[in-house]
Chains A and B, each alone.
Chain A
Amino acid sequence: MQAPISVPALYSGKKGTIRVSSGRNVVEWSPSVAPIDSNGGNGGGPVNGTVVIRLDEIAGLQASPATHAKARLRITTTAQTQFTFEVPTRANLEALKAVLASANAASSSSSATQSPSAPLTPAATTPGAASKSDPTRKLAIPTKGLSDADLLADRALQISFLKSNGDLQQQFLDTVVGQQLPPDEFWRTRIPLLRMHSLVLAQRRGPYNVLATVKPVTTTQSEATGGGGGTAQVKVSLSPDKIRDIFLQYPVVRRAYDENVPPLVETTFWSRFFLSKLCRKLRGERIGLNDAPDNVMDKYLDLDEDGMTAEQRELENENAKIMRFVDVEANEMDDSQRAGNRPDITMRQTTHKDTLSIIRTINKLSQKIVESVEGEAQQTLEEQEQLKLRELALEDLEPVTEVSHVELHLHRSTDSLYSSTAGKDLDAAAPDANDSRASKVLESMIDSLSNSSGSVHEMLSSAVPSSSTISHAQSQVFNLIHSRRRTEENRHNGGDSDTPVSDAVTLRDMKLSHTTAIEFLHHFWSALLSGEPSRAVSALPLLVTSVEKSKTRLEAVLDRHVSSNASQDPAKLAQEKKRVQGYVQITLDALQSAARTYHDLVKEQQAALTAAQSENTTPAGTPR
């Protein structure tokens, strides 16, 4: 084992040091400067705190290529999380990588000896390999881990989501890192997004017919080695994944490979394989007479795709249990040939031998794929038989199930809407469900409507508009039309003349502060309306301060803007301030009203407390 190493490294844009300590079997990155506000109590968080990766959890190490401008090291853990560190010099990177690789190998081998079922094997440096060939998996995506609490607790998932989404990362840095918003609060409003991200990460590809996806491309160039007379050359691109899948699905290819590759070069093997009759057979294509013979590959032509000869197969079949209803011997009474029918195409001796082999190949392959997914082999013969019987049932001949829908009983007559007995109709139209809350609200609505000086129609007819209100309304309408026209014209001319370029900096700052303010407002309202006493008590005071701070921040941007063009006269300055303030006036009002709502509620609650002289009233912040 090599000596522990300590290298300066950047992680998610922050300076720090990465250490490999062999004693604790961990890689540790810690920031060199303290986080901006170290008294916040969330110092243990994954982003502004240290990052610790256990050595035996490392599944992959990837360094950026030497030609790349920046020297980066990416560590992939077995939990599929990725950490990317930026190392200042290439030499440091190489040293770090070497230490990590050896330390990882040592720790994984030691853990393998300790427990034979350790998940990490040396071959698992490509994470897909381990998960794909794992036969024990059943369901694509675990049903747990999608609940709100699980998602909130999954820091690794959150980090990977932040990395995939630049805007969100910026917002996270602004609010959580910069403004002390608790990370849980930040994520609580984004749980659906997190859930989708976790699903994106968790999903896996199903097994598929590999040979069908490998498409040799025939080129007529004669530049390469050993082409067929320089006329046509077949190009096949194979990834390690594909080769592994081919071996898995066609043991005969694996056998051919094992037996022939030491004399043959690997590339030659594959190029010969894809031109051979064997490949055609496995693909389920017809073998033509003019297919070139291949003395190596043709040896395996008589074996089936499991690498067994016909005799071996027969021997195995004799021992295998056969489902009763496909067992010809057991069903002799029902043999259709006795009634004079020709045997089925698959049961004839002579004809269509190549067609049959194609059918068999494809059928066997799809069966194998399905079995590899469902683990059908573990089913008993009876279960399989039941399944087959259900499959064979002709669903088209089943009677159509009638679906009964819930009919609404409405009073169709439009008169009822305007009649004085509207209350009765509303009662009749309401669902029969004895939802006391709904009916109570409806009743109170009807009451308030009927109590308010007769009907709506009377109110409408009694209100005689004066000429001044009419002209006021008219001017409003015309103003609206004019302003709409101006905006439309601006849009047509391709620019918005209302936003001068001169205060681009102010605009950017303001936009940032505005976005942050809205973010805090969102958290404030969601905490206030959550109805969870504990959350309201713990998070609300903090959020209210943040909301109030947002307000001061916006005002600070305003002041900065005004002071930056100090050369102008005061009247113009005031005008300018008013103009820029207009951009955020609504936001300022909203912040104000949020703070007021909170303080009103607190006051109300305190009043209630003093009135009731009791400690056990509802906590602050629960909505009325």
Chain B
Amino acid sequence: MELRSTAGGYIWEDSIQRSWDVVQEDAGGSLAGVVAELVQAGKRKRLHYDTTPLQRGIIRHLILVLDLSMSMSEKDLRPTRYQLSVSYAIQFVTDYFEQNPISQLGIIGMRDGLANLVSQLGGNPTEHIGALQALRKQEPSGDPSLQNALEMARGALYHVPSHGTKEVVIIFGSLLSCDPGDIHKTVGILKAEHVRVCIVGLAAEVAICKEICRRTNDGDSTSTYGVILNEQHFKELLLASCTPPASTKQKSSASLGSDLMRMGFPSRIVETSPSFCACHSRLSKGGYICPRCKVKVCSLPTECPACGLTLILSTHLARSYHHLMPLRNWDEVDWNDAKQASSCFACQLPFPTAPSSAPRLRVSVSGSTTNVTATAASGIATGGASGRFRCPSCKQMFCIDCDLFAHEILHNCPGCEAAAGGRKLSNGQAATEVSMATTSAYA
């Protein structure tokens, strides 16, 4: 926990900051400027990632454990903890597979002192979402048992090969765990098997949860165990698990020695008449043919139902890679350097001009309908920032929305990609193809 404030003293020695003091009306008595500023500040905040490339396990095997006990019927989250957790779990499944296409997920529920299997470990998001939707109609009941859930998660992750991660994420709304045995022994076994546990607490910090996270994450419980403050925070804590965990020094030294694994990159086939697919035994048109055993599967990524080969598209790999090679943060450009570009390199919308003309410009811009210019213009109000952001490697300037888009969705710098293509290739073919392929995966 961070007990020091920015001033150097303890946080409780600081003068109190009230949220309504932060918001100041402007001269016209309007809050619009302030709100825009807050929005931009929020965007900037999201942009400051740690971009150190770390070794991460991108072939993940994660078990999501949901608390389905009586305590989840509390209404402190709307409509209930139960319903909100299921909604967020659905979102988690979607985001997880979007960011980790070559990973697998399974869901376990804790109800009546037992662990129930909600969905098997698998790579198909629709199956998991279907199972979660079915859960919506049920009611929470009984006590949760962390031990039963962890034991079951351990069993589900038992067969995971050494190149994959073993993770458990628990949404825990109770303050007790009703276990049939000594949970500390279970935690010991989990640690020995390199299973990492993250917990999102909905009620209050529970000692055993902290202990579980601390022991299974090499002593790091601050980033793995969090208790929510509100709905938004709940979402943030849960979705933080979408990022693959960085492997720690201790763990990787224990299991050093990388290994090659086989993957198939099938190409899509087009059929005029339907044929049976191997995965569901349903008639369908088109699909992918496994390069090793020649059976047809409906969708990628998947494991070949006949020969067990991992079948993926290269774009899936590329999507997983951005966690390993995060795009570097772009620098804020101050007004001295702002003259180099008058419009965003990516979206071509004009940047705001120098601060001397700022008040007049704001008037002219406020009539504009485009959201982008409005937010860019509000950058002036903050004083220092010119609304321009520069990529440190290609030196191109971008607006904040393109900055966000590039860092959160694209994970590529349009400037660098264009430069590489333009300089090295006479026709720019290969480079644009690469970036096109990557972007189309998100479209």
Could you tell me which residues of chain A, from 389 to 422, have a CB within 8 Å of some CB in chain B? 395-396, 400-401, 403-410, 412-415, 417-419
Residue B87 lies at the interface, judged by CB distance under 8 Å to chain A? no
Residue A492 lies at the interface, judged by CB distance under 8 Å to chain B? no
Residue in A closest to B416 when the chains form the complex, CB atoms: A414
Determine if B247 and A195 form an interchain contact, defined as CB atoms under 8 angstroms apart: no
Q: From residue A111, how far is it (CB to closest CB) to chain B in Å?
A: 28
List B contacts of A199 (CB < 8 A): 115, 151-152, 155
Q: From residue B146, how far is it (CB to closest CB) to chain A in Å?
A: 10
Interface SS of chain B: helix, strand, loop or mixed? loop
Determine if B113 and A208 form an interchain contact, defined as CB atoms under 8 angstroms apart: yes
Q: From residue A54, how far is it (CB to closest CB) to chain B in Å?
A: 28
Q: From residue A503, how far is it (CB to closest CB) to chain B in Å?
A: 11
A514-B276 CB under 8 A given contacts A408-B324, A457-B430, A529-B308: yes
List A contacts of B142 (CB < 8 A): 213
A405-B143 CB under 8 A given contacts A206-B178, A460-B430: no
**Distance between Cα atoms of A309 and B327 in the complex (Å):** 72
Most A-side CB within 10 Å, residue of B182, B252, B417, B419: B182
Instruction: Flag the segment in B19-27, B124-132, B253-261, B372-380 that touches A.
Output: B253-261
Determine if B182 and A138 form an interchain contact, defined as CB atoms under 8 angstroms apart: yes
Instruction: Flag the segment in A83-91, A140-148, A563-571, A612-620 that touches B.
Output: A140-148
Determine if B419 and A203 form an interchain contact, defined as CB atoms under 8 angstroms apart: no
Q: From residue B75, how far is it (CB to closest CB) to chain A in Å?
A: 19
Could you tell me which residues of chain A, from 563 to 593, have a CB within 8 Å of some CB in chain B? 579, 582-587, 589-590, 593
**Distance between Cα atoms of A153 and B325 in the complex (Å):** 46
Residue A456 lies at the interface, judged by CB distance under 8 Å to chain B? yes
**Distance between Cα atoms of A579 and B274 in the complex (Å):** 9
List B contacts of A435 (CB < 8 A): 257-259
A441-B307 CB under 8 A given contacts A395-B210, A525-B293: no
Interface string of B210-228 (1 = CB under 8 A from A): 1000000111101000000
Which residue in B120, B189, B295 is a CB contact (below 8 Å) of A143? B189
Determine if B148 and A521 form an interchain contact, defined as CB atoms under 8 angstroms apart: no
**Distance between Cα atoms of A106 and B143 in the complex (Å):** 40
Determine if B151 and A141 form an interchain contact, defined as CB atoms under 8 angstroms apart: yes
List B contacts of A395 (CB < 8 A): 210
Residue in B closest to A511 when the chains form the complex, CB atoms: B281
A203-B152 CB under 8 A given contacts A401-B219, A461-B426: yes
List A contacts of B158 (CB < 8 A): 146, 192, 195
Which residue in B156, B275, B306, B424 is a CB contact (below 8 Å) of A525? B306
Residue in B closest to A510 when the chains form the complex, CB atoms: B276
Q: From residue A189, how far is it (CB to closest CB) to chain B in Å?
A: 8
Determine if A515 and B281 form an interchain contact, defined as CB atoms under 8 angstroms apart: yes
Instruction: State the total of A-B contacts with C-beta under 8 angstroms.
Output: 241
**Distance between Cα atoms of A403 and B393 in the complex (Å):** 30
Residue B53 lies at the interface, judged by CB distance under 8 Å to chain A? yes
Residue in A closest to B269 when the chains form the complex, CB atoms: A586
A406-B248 CB under 8 A given contacts A205-B112, A583-B283: yes
Residue B54 lies at the interface, judged by CB distance under 8 Å to chain A? yes
Interface string of B288-317 (1 = CB under 8 A from A): 010011111000000001111000000000
Determine if A205 and B114 form an interchain contact, defined as CB atoms under 8 angstroms apart: yes
Determine if A414 and B420 form an interchain contact, defined as CB atoms under 8 angstroms apart: yes
Residue in A closest to B270 when the chains form the complex, CB atoms: A480
List A contacts of B189 (CB < 8 A): 143
Determine if B273 and A405 form an interchain contact, defined as CB atoms under 8 angstroms apart: no
A195-B155 CB under 8 A given contacts A461-B426, A587-B278: yes
**Distance between Cα atoms of A207 and B252 in the complex (Å):** 39
Residue in B closest to A137 when the chains form the complex, CB atoms: B181
A203-B295 CB under 8 A given contacts A374-B182, A413-B393: no
Q: From residue B2, how far is it (CB to closest CB) to chain A in Å?
A: 9
**Distance between Cα atoms of A414 and B341 in the complex (Å):** 22
A404-B248 CB under 8 A given contacts A139-B185, A192-B158, A396-B1: yes
A205-B393 CB under 8 A given contacts A401-B220, A406-B249: no
Determine if B307 and A525 form an interchain contact, defined as CB atoms under 8 angstroms apart: yes
Residue B180 lies at the interface, judged by CB distance under 8 Å to chain A? yes
Q: From residue B225, how far is it (CB to closest CB) to chain A in Å?
A: 12
Chain A, interface size category, equals 35 or more
List A contacts of B18 (CB < 8 A): none
Residue A191 lies at the interface, judged by CB distance under 8 Å to chain B? yes
**Distance between Cα atoms of A504 and B292 in the complex (Å):** 32
Determine if B276 and A511 form an interchain contact, defined as CB atoms under 8 angstroms apart: yes
List B contacts of A460 (CB < 8 A): 425, 427, 429-430
Which residue in B54, B115, B430 is a CB contact (below 8 Å) of A406? B54
List A contacts of B220 (CB < 8 A): 401, 403
Could you tell me which residues of chain B, from 385 to 443, have a CB within 8 Å of some CB in chain A? 393, 413, 416-417, 419-420, 423-427, 429-431
Residue B339 lies at the interface, judged by CB distance under 8 Å to chain A? no
Could you tell me which residues of chain A, from 119 to 134, have a CB within 8 Å of some CB in chain B? none
Determine if A407 and B52 form an interchain contact, defined as CB atoms under 8 angstroms apart: yes
Determine if B274 and A203 form an interchain contact, defined as CB atoms under 8 angstroms apart: no
Interface SS of chain A: helix, strand, loop or mixed? helix
Q: From residue B150, how far is it (CB to closest CB) to chain A in Å?
A: 10
List A contacts of B420 (CB < 8 A): 414-415, 417-418
Residue B40 lies at the interface, judged by CB distance under 8 Å to chain A? no
Determine if A407 and B156 form an interchain contact, defined as CB atoms under 8 angstroms apart: no
Determine if A583 and B275 form an interchain contact, defined as CB atoms under 8 angstroms apart: yes
**Distance between Cα atoms of A529 and B152 in the complex (Å):** 29
List B contacts of A198 (CB < 8 A): 155
Residue in A closest to B285 when the chains form the complex, CB atoms: A487
Determine if B53 and A410 form an interchain contact, defined as CB atoms under 8 angstroms apart: yes
Residue A518 lies at the interface, judged by CB distance under 8 Å to chain B? yes
A518-B159 CB under 8 A given contacts A140-B180, A583-B275: no
A483-B272 CB under 8 A given contacts A203-B151, A412-B393: yes
Residue B328 lies at the interface, judged by CB distance under 8 Å to chain A? yes
Q: From residue A430, how far is it (CB to closest CB) to chain B in Å?
A: 9
Determine if A433 and B258 form an interchain contact, defined as CB atoms under 8 angstroms apart: yes
Determine if A403 and B306 form an interchain contact, defined as CB atoms under 8 angstroms apart: no
List B contacts of A146 (CB < 8 A): 155, 158
Determine if B54 and A205 form an interchain contact, defined as CB atoms under 8 angstroms apart: no
Determine if A196 and B155 form an interchain contact, defined as CB atoms under 8 angstroms apart: yes
**Distance between Cα atoms of A366 and B285 in the complex (Å):** 61
List A contacts of B113 (CB < 8 A): 205-206, 208
Determine if B246 and A406 form an interchain contact, defined as CB atoms under 8 angstroms apart: yes
Residue in B closest to A202 when the chains form the complex, CB atoms: B151
Residue B179 lies at the interface, judged by CB distance under 8 Å to chain A? yes
Which residue in A137, A203, A499, A586 is a CB contact (below 8 Å) of B294? A586
Residue B71 lies at the interface, judged by CB distance under 8 Å to chain A? no
Which residue in B53, B159, B271, B430 is a CB contact (below 8 Å) of A192? B159
Q: From residue A287, how far is it (CB to closest CB) to chain B in Å?
A: 25
Residue B241 lies at the interface, judged by CB distance under 8 Å to chain A? no
**Distance between Cα atoms of A479 and B328 in the complex (Å):** 42
A582-B275 CB under 8 A given contacts A146-B155, A525-B307, A525-B308: yes
Determine if B156 and A192 form an interchain contact, defined as CB atoms under 8 angstroms apart: yes
Determine if A522 and B305 form an interchain contact, defined as CB atoms under 8 angstroms apart: yes
Determine if B148 and A140 form an interchain contact, defined as CB atoms under 8 angstroms apart: yes
Residue in A closest to B281 when the chains form the complex, CB atoms: A515
The 9 closest A-B pairs by CB, nearest first: A525-B307, A205-B113, A401-B219, A406-B55, A140-B181, A521-B306, A418-B424, A408-B53, A582-B273
Which A residues contact B (CB, under 8 angstroms)? 137-141, 143, 146, 191-193, 195-196, 198-200, 203-208, 213, 373-374, 395-396, 400-401, 403-410, 412-415, 417-419, 431, 433, 435, 437-438, 441, 456-457, 460-461, 479-480, 483, 487, 496, 498-499, 507, 510-511, 514-515, 518, 521-522, 525-526, 529, 579, 582-587, 589-590, 593-594
Could you list 17 A-B pairs, sorted by A, with CB under 8 Å? Answer: A141-B151, A146-B158, A192-B156, A206-B113, A206-B181, A406-B55, A406-B249, A419-B424, A433-B257, A437-B259, A438-B258, A487-B285, A498-B274, A582-B275, A587-B275, A587-B296, A590-B306
A409-B53, A460-B429 are known; give 13 further A-B pairs, CB within 8 A: A137-B181, A198-B155, A206-B147, A405-B55, A408-B324, A412-B328, A414-B417, A414-B420, A460-B430, A514-B276, A526-B307, A529-B308, A583-B275
